[in-house]
Amino acid sequence: MRIFLLALRFLTIIPLGTRKGINEDSVGPAGKYYPLVGLIIGGLLWVFFYGVNLIFPISVSAGLLLLFWVILTGALHLDGLADSLDGLYGGTNPEERLGIMKDVHLGTMGIVGLILTLGIKYLVLREILLIPSLRIGIVFIPAISRWTPIFLSFLFSYARPGGGLGQALVTGTGKKELFWATLMAWIPSAAIAGYWGLGLNLVITVWSLLCGWYFHRKLGGITGDVLGAVIESSEVWAMLFLLGIIGYA
């Protein structure tokens, strides 16, 4: 239970557990609970939407839901997305890219990437919420997207020397962590959406592999920022899959 609460506290702002226990020794074992935390996030999003939708139209409810989504997760992965984009477009070699990603200042590409990502998320989320049969998707999308850092940590090495929580997750992720994380991510989506859920899992798996290969080529491995970027982009692809493949099938 303590490890699960650490995962919950690390990935959300829910005030259960304490951040004092989040260290290099606990990050690896906590990884297997990331998809379960994603399910909790998804459940809270679902409840929040149906609450605000009693008062506001879909267009407003979608915007409020996205705002709640960002606040609930502490914008943790958006920060990783912005840093990754700054590094990729600002550096000419792995060392420069990693240096830029570590800089606390936000660059132009990071800002543009955040605006475009949140804009696309809002537009697609609004369309999904207009189709009642797709609304349940907001429950398991956060779960499958939070499976990706465990999958990538198992397959790829860490790019930046010097320790840190990102490196601890990569080095601390083994077959056991990947096995339990996969069960917690794949089973709920398949149970809720059937074959479409399995299709979604496969799409996110392929996307994760492409991201891992790309960042390994550009950085020599993955980092915590990279994992955050993959989570955010996986959520976008998952919503696009639901809308494009299921919503208009």
Report CA-CA distances (Å) from 26 to 152, 167, 181, 238, 244: 18, 12, 16, 29, 39
In this structure, is residue 160 part of a structural domain? Answer: yes
The mean pLDDT of 154-181, rounded to a whole number, is 83
In this structure, is residue 15 part of a structural domain? Answer: no
SS3 assignment, position 76:
helix
Ranking 1-5, 93-97, 136-140, 227-231 by mean pLDDT, the lowest is 1-5
Gap between the Cα atoms of 5 and 125, Å rounded:
29
In this structure, is residue 14 part of a structural domain? Answer: no
In this structure, is residue 238 part of a structural domain? Answer: yes
In this structure, is residue 19 part of a structural domain? Answer: no
* Residue 160, burial from CB neighbour count under 10 angstroms (0-12, 13-18, 19+): buried
In this structure, is residue 174 part of a structural domain? Answer: yes
Output phi, psi for 143, to 5 deg: -75, -50
Q: Would you state the structure tokens that stand for residue 192, as one six-digit string?
A: 């809720």
In this structure, is residue 63 part of a structural domain? Answer: yes
Residue 21 has pLDDT above 60, yes or no: no
In this structure, is residue 125 part of a structural domain? Answer: yes
pLDDT, position 174: 87
Whole-prediction pTM value? 0.92
Gap between the Cα atoms of 229 and 243, Å rounded:
21
Contact predicate 185/42, CB 8 Å: no
Q: Which domain holds residue 229?
A: 32-247
Secondary-structure breakdown of the chain: helix, strand, coil percentages, each rounded to the nearest 5: 80, 0, 20
pLDDT digits (tens, 9 = 90+) for 103-160: 888 888 999 999 999 999 999 999 999 998 889 889 999 999 999 999 999 999 998 7
Return the C-alpha torsion angle 123, 147, 207, 88, nearest 10. Answer: 80
Tally of domains within the chain? 1
Residue 29 has pLDDT above 80, yes or no: no
